[in-house]
Structure 1
Amino acid sequence: MIRLVKVPRSTYYYMKNKKVMKKTVSEGRSAPGYSYQANGTKVPDEQIQEWLMELISSDGFAYGYRKLTVCLRREYQLQINKKKVYRLCKKLDILLPQRRKPVVYPRKLARNRTVTDSNQLFETDIKYGFIAGEERFFFILSCIDVYDRSIVAFHIGLSCEAKDVASTLQSALMKRQLFETLEKPVIRSDNGPQFVSHAFQQACTSFGVEHERIPPKTPNMNAHIESFHQLLQDECLARYEF
């Protein structure tokens, strides 16, 4: 056969015995999904994204990712480098060259309200829990009626995106038989990326719900859901492993 195809014997056996080395490409380690504060507390990326949104909604609108890195270190004692902040800013589409005014939909700031009955004002927020041994977080989204202090709807999962927030809001309206009514509760939230997203704003418009957001660094204006989540932290998340 070698003679027929006129291939030198030495070439044939060389190619037969040659070991082909596969080129390996290092992909680097995957992003852990959290950073540490100076006291050793793990902070999920979702919380860092919320802080970034609060920063650019207040004094930090003109800041690039380097200045935002400094702000995170100073205000939240976060141990984070500028590369990660760049990645998170890119994910949120708030890098300076592409940055628009943070809110396209009209932004309605929360105001003091006199609540006299159920189904007038719902507060919502996201709480983070840590899964022991898996190095990852889970998310608890709760929606509370400010008047009767009951949790109307909630979401628990390994992720919490705008679609999950919209679905939870829809569940809350349906449980209170408010989905088809004209009068609906006001929904109050902070400035987390899920709540300022186009998807959630479109859902609120579709449901006929007024959505208001508290000013940055004013958790007292979302006090009822903050209080519930603190109780959840003290009585459950801090006492048991998940």
Structure 2
Amino acid sequence: MSERRACRALGQHRSTQRKVPRGRDDEAALTADLVELAERYGRYGYRKIGALLKAAGWLVNDKRVERIWRREGLKVRARQPKRGRLWDGDGSCIRLRPEYRDHVWSYDFVEARTHDGRKFRMLNVVDEFTRECLTIRVARKLKATDVIDVLSDLFILRGVPGHIRSDNGPEFIAKSVQAWIAGVGSKTAYIAPGSPWENGYVESFNARLRDELLDGEVFYTLKEAQIVIESWRRHYNTVRPHGALGYRPPAPEVFLPAFTAWPAALARPAPPAKLSVEQRPTLH
């Protein structure tokens, strides 16, 4: 069959068989920026990368980003599914829905380890309506008094929220914590025992924190962990696109340029060098 008849049968213009398609003039620059962001944020898909490109000034749609993403062979490694009990609750996690900023806060603990194997804890506080992470307190030990200290600082900065949601951990159900929260005019909202899905907002944040930061970093000191985690928190609030917010960051009023996010801005210290036998100090 001739080219003319084949194009007529397919409804395709004959020029498509003769003209070599040319990419846009900015294709190489866009590809370079996209690959750079994909290398920097290994846990982001093409939609979040596209949102960062738009924030940096690129006029590009998701289809073009996806095309370049696939052409470059980029992909996000799938996470291992958690095994265990299915989420078969009765929907009690939506009994108290956040309706405005500072209506409902939720907080929870996350544990990690430094390079020497010692544990440290993080107290994460999240505004459920804006999805903003209000603070992450990092310390070797966190008790009920530390919970009160973190909340008092936040109450001074942002005011008193209507409700504070948490699980039934001993630091949260302590009488001193309950009395202090009630004394400042807020209310506690405890989830049912053994039902972490009822605290879904902060649980989702904890998963992002572990997936995007903790699983890929080695902290040699507690101070290093505090600095890096705080830098990531600011990046999460001001730069990282959030799918539930239309791929906008939770706190765009203090938005930072997309290419000055936390991985490039940090000057990470080198790991401590091991001393040889001759270099080790001797005791007299």
Q: TM-score with structure 1 length normalisation?
A: 0.50
Q: Which amino acid aligns with 1:142?
A: N
2: CA distance, partners of 1:220 / 1:110: 7
Which residue of structure 2 lines up, in the alignment, with residue 112 of structure 1?
Answer: 95
Answering whether residue 143 of structure 2 is matched by residue 166 of structure 1, we say: no
1:203 to 2:185 alignment: no
Query: CA 1:111–1:228 in 2, change beyond 3 Å: closer, same or farther?
Result: closer
Superposed CA offset, 1:99-150 (max 9, x none):
xxxxxxxxxx9761232211100010011011121x3211110111100000
User: Which amino acid is the alignment partner of residue 210 of structure 1?
Assistant: K
What amino acid is aligned across from residue 147 of structure 1 in structure 2? Answer: F
Q: How does 1:74-85 map to 2 (within 5 A)?
A: none
> TM-score scaled by structure 2?
0.43
C-alpha separation in 2, matches of 1:201 and 1:110: 21
- Give, in whole Å, the separation in 2 of the partners of 1:111 and 1:228: 17
Partner of 2:118: 136
Residue in 2 that maps onto 1:221: 198
2:60 corresponds to: none
Partner of 2:162: 185
**Structure 1 residues 137, 191: CA separation in 2 closer, same or farther (over 3 Å shift)?**
same
Q: CA deviation at 1:232?
A: 0.6
Would the aligned equivalents of 1:162 and 1:197 in 2 still touch at CA under 8 Å?
A: yes
- Tell me, which stretches of 5 or more residues in structure 1 are unaligned? 1-74, 77-108
Distance in 2 of aligned mates of 1:195 and 1:230? 20
CA contact (8 A) 2:106 2:166 kept: yes
* 1:1-242 aligned within 5 A: 112-133=95-116, 135-176=117-158, 178-179=159-160, 184-242=161-219
Identify the structure with the greater strand proportion.
1
The CA deviation at 1:159 is: 0.7
The gaps in structure 2 that reach 5 residues or longer are 1-83, 86-91, 220-284
CA 185–160 in structure 1, closer or farther in 2 if over 3 Å, else same: same
Aligned length: 130
Amino acid at match of 1:188: R
8 Å Cα contact 1:119/1:145 also seen in 2 = yes
Contact 1:154 1:168 in 2 (8 A): no
1:227 Cα deviation after fit? 0.6
Identity percentage of aligned residues: 25
Output one character per residue of 1:14-58: Cα deviation in whole Å (capped at 9) or x when no partner.
xxxxxxxxxxxxxxxxxxxxxxxxxxxxxxxxxxxxxxxxxxxxx
The letter for the 2-side match of 1:118 is R
Of 117-126 and 200-209, the range deviating more from structure 2: 200-209
1:152–1:175 Cα contact (<8 Å) kept: no
